[in-house]
Amino acid sequence: MEKAMYSKEKVRIIVHLDVDAFYVAAERELRKDWKGRPLAVSQYNPYGSLDEVGINDPARILYDGEKGNIRVQQQGRNVNGSLIAVSYEARAKNIQRNDRGLVAIQKCPNDLVIVQVPVSNGKANLTMYRDASQRLFSRLLAHMHQAVEELSVDIIGGRNGTETNNIHISVEKASIDEVYFDLSKPIEQLCECLCKNEENWILLMDRLMRNNGELKAKTTIGGLESEKDMATNRLSKNEIRKGSHLQTLDSSSSSSADVAEQLWWRRGEGYSINDSGWTVQELSLAVGAWITLQARQALTDEFDGVYTLAAGISTNKTMAKLASGLKKPNRQTLVNPADKHTLQKLFHPLPIGRLRGLGGKFGDQVSKILGVQTVGELAQIPLRTMQQTFDEDKALWLSEMAQGHCCDPVKDRTKSKRIGAGKTFQGHLSIRGYDSLRKWIGNLALEVFGRVVAEETRYPKTLTCWLHLQNVSDERENEKGGRNTNDGHAASLSTSIPQNITQSQCTNLALKLANQIIDRVTNKKNEAFSIIGMEVSASNFVEKDETQGTILNAFRKQMSRQSTDFLVLDKTHEPLKKKPATGTSSYLSSVTTKAQCSVACTDTGSQKKIPEVSTVHRAKRSHSAVMASTTVIGAPVDKIDVDMKYAQRLQELFDKEHQALQSIPKTKRRKMESQQLISSFLTKSSG
């Protein structure tokens, strides 16, 4: 066993949380009396007659086994939509996601409730679920902070107290009901402090083991499970999603696993980290598990037991997500990838498609070319072999991933990366004419626009339209771009949009994109088309902050960043690949600015300037606005020291140049802008 002498060893602690049967839980928040009952949420059923149904409209209740089958009798097929969320009580009755309503009713006629998603404008309105998600995750973050606070204040109090005020917990929303937290920073600070003396250590252990070992009882140590649990791990993601009955099994029969778990915790006992059999990583994981348990329980209590969550605690995002899916619902699993036995037992048997980034085409390619099916088989392939087939970065990433390593940071993002509205048109409902195309693109663009303007702090730079067309003959498939599906051809087109886009501009742009897709897919105008799915979405969000994109702001961002991973100062502007034509956009040579930026960034290890990591370029909205932004690529954050005074000076110079430009007539300015800026900036900044 590795000696655990506490050192400032860098350990990452990443937690992945997934709300159990999320839409069902959101419905139960509205109707507390549905708690404990088998409940399913049905998707919008276009064959039914409910075109406009508000959140509190009783018409949403399609079936209530206790009250008699009201809507089924009245409206035949209404109840027969497919189920998109199924409570664990309903899963115990063998009801699964994608079951049709009538099939589900047959399985549980007397007790089941089926509720349909709210509907507006003839399509599902998911606002209530999005709002619930936002509410939940912001409260969850608050509870995480509170748990950290409790450990630091209650245990160490005034003695060697850590500064909890400044503790930053990175949080990344991964989907409507999934979130990652990076607890590395607070846990590093806590553990360092808690391990300083024996008294602190005993208090910490007392805290971890209190309530008759509640933490032990409520945390599964991944890799120590019984054979029966292991069967769950071999299931594909889709099989698990279907609500496999294995997930609801009581693990009371796994007595050997229980013993192994008891032993895992017992290794933590002793009078200090040095006496214990735990490594620093294991201690940090145990503390992470304690914080996660407190936060999960506090959240469940706050919402009267309506929301429960599954959690995975590990040292990176891939393993944390894998861990959270091992035991559901309302259970947390700790996975230590440094434990070879755990890797072999838990990780290596997985099909490679279960890994993040390998679930799609690239995963299929890897499997085919390297002849591997499981993660274990992939782990056997030497890096050299991978390098012969894939480019350097991909080969390294694959090799690291197969060993359970993944350095993808938890990006501080609490909002979705994109805002989209979509609709499917089944069977005879498919869209075949330009009038209904206009109507539906208009509806979807309206929804997207409404949600975009409600955003207070950011705006999207890209609008995308996606269409799924049916009956496209196979001969033309290769020419059209897009993707063949089992029943047609799906393609998307994007365009950039201005910050203050109006509703009609948004609709017109979306319609233009849709028409372009149809033209491409059908090859010529006026040819018949049949659309079975469409989506309009806005993405590529940037902050509304006026100073966004300025040099100073980019440096400020870096200064406040707590991540221990990689530094990316400003991802919103990629470095310009080539010089734009003079007169269309003023441009400051990236060579020049690279040199300027390297003066501001110093490698604290070697005290050398860093010329390679920085590229400053100017992005220009119009000829009257000169903006500067900084992109620092892939530099370890703890090795960069930013000279804020220098950054400030760079900014002032840019601002001055900008002001000076305003006094010059526009036509003249166009010609001289670029030249003048470069020479003037160079002269002044070197002074």
Q: Tokens 């889709």 map to which residue?
A: 238
Q: Where are the alpha helices (DSSP H) in 454-561?
A: 503-522, 551-560
> At its nearest, how many Å lie between ligand TTP and the CB of residue 43?
7
Q: Is 23 in the site for ligand TTP (CB under 6 A)?
A: yes
> At its nearest, how many Å lie between ligand TTP and the CB of residue 330?
9
Closest to ligand TTP by CB, 39 vs 195, is 39
Closest to ligand TTP by CB, 89 vs 673, is 89
Q: Where are the alpha helices (DSSP H) in 49-149?
A: 70-75, 88-91, 101-107, 127-149
Q: Is 328 in the site for ligand TTP (CB under 6 A)?
A: yes
- Positive or negative torsion for Cα 57, 61, 67, 70: positive
Q: Is 22 in the site for ligand TTP (CB under 6 A)?
A: yes
Closest to ligand TTP by CB, 107 vs 348, is 107
Binding segment toward ligand TTP, per CB under 6 A, in 14-22, 264-272, 486-494, 608-616: 14-22
When binding is defined by CB under 6 A, the residue of 329, 349, 359, 450 that contacts ligand TTP is 329
> At its nearest, how many Å lie between ligand TTP and the CB of residue 177?
4
Closest to 78 measured CA to CA, from 56, 55, 108, 53: 53
> At its nearest, how many Å lie between ligand TTP and the CB of residue 544?
29
DSSP bridge partners of 292: none
Count of CB atoms situated within 10 Å of the CB of 598: 18
DSSP bridge partners of 642: 601
Rounded Cα distance between 82 and 76, Å, is 15
Give phi and psi for 337, each to the nearest 5: -65, -15
DSSP bridge partners of 491: 467
Closest to ligand TTP by CB, 20 vs 225, is 20
**Binders in 509-528 for ligand TTP, by CB under 6 A:** none
Q: Beta strand pairing status for 531-543 and 458-469?
A: antiparallel
Binding segment toward ligand TTP, per CB under 6 A, in 18-26, 59-67, 391-399, 531-539: 18-26
When binding is defined by CB under 6 A, the residue of 13, 14, 18, 288 that contacts ligand TTP is 18
> At its nearest, how many Å lie between ligand TTP and the CB of residue 92?
13
Closest to ligand TTP by CB, 85 vs 191, is 85
Q: Is 321 in the site for ligand TTP (CB under 6 A)?
A: no
Closest to ligand TTP by CB, 140 vs 286, is 140
Cβ(369)–Cβ(389) below 8 Å? yes
Q: Is 27 in the site for ligand TTP (CB under 6 A)?
A: no
Closest to ligand TTP by CB, 84 vs 576, is 84
Closest to ligand TTP by CB, 21 vs 452, is 21
**Tokens in use for 537?**
């979405």
* 3-state class (DSSP) for residue 177: coil
Q: Is 21 in the site for ligand TTP (CB under 6 A)?
A: yes
Count of residues of this chain found to bind ligand TTP when the rule CB under 6 A is applied: 13
Binding segment toward ligand TTP, per CB under 6 A, in 21-29, 130-138, 311-319, 575-583: 21-29
> At its nearest, how many Å lie between ligand TTP and the CB of residue 425?
17
Q: Tokens 């020291």 map to which residue?
A: 641
Q: Is 16 in the site for ligand TTP (CB under 6 A)?
A: no
Closest to 241 measured CA to CA, from 15, 20, 44, 486: 20
Distance of CA 668 to the CA centre of its chain: 48
The HSE-up count of residue 617 (CA atoms within 13 Å, CB side) is: 22
Binding segment toward ligand TTP, per CB under 6 A, in 16-24, 28-36, 475-483, 613-621: 16-24
Cβ(294)–Cβ(301) below 8 Å? no
Q: Is 177 in the site for ligand TTP (CB under 6 A)?
A: yes
Q: Is 307 in the site for ligand TTP (CB under 6 A)?
A: no
> At its nearest, how many Å lie between ligand TTP and the CB of residue 176?
6
Q: Is 137 in the site for ligand TTP (CB under 6 A)?
A: no
Q: Where are the alpha helices (DSSP H) in 360-425?
A: 361-370, 375-380, 383-389, 392-402
* 3-state class (DSSP) for residue 96: coil
CA gyration radius for the chain? 28
**Binders in 64-93 for ligand TTP, by CB under 6 A:** 84-85
Rounded Cα distance between 278 and 270, Å, is 10
Closest to 657 measured CA to CA, from 580, 559, 551, 544: 551
**Binders in 575-634 for ligand TTP, by CB under 6 A:** none
Q: Is 34 in the site for ligand TTP (CB under 6 A)?
A: no
Q: Where are the alpha helices (DSSP H) in 391-542?
A: 392-402, 434-453, 503-522
Closest to ligand TTP by CB, 84 vs 678, is 84
The residue whose Cβ lies closest to ligand TTP is 85
Rounded Cα distance between 321 and 407, Å, is 14
> At its nearest, how many Å lie between ligand TTP and the CB of residue 14?
18
> At its nearest, how many Å lie between ligand TTP and the CB of residue 150?
28
When binding is defined by CB under 6 A, the residue of 10, 159, 228, 241 that contacts ligand TTP is 241
Q: How is residue 278 annotated by DSSP?
A: -
**Strand ranges of the sheet holding 458-469, from the earlier edge strand across to the other edge:** 419-424, 531-543, 458-469, 488-496, 483-485
Binding segment toward ligand TTP, per CB under 6 A, in 17-25, 183-191, 509-517, 553-561: 17-25
The HSE-up count of residue 58 (CA atoms within 13 Å, CB side) is: 4
Closest to ligand TTP by CB, 123 vs 328, is 328
Binding residues for ligand TTP (CB under 6 A):
18-23, 84-85, 176-177, 241, 328-329
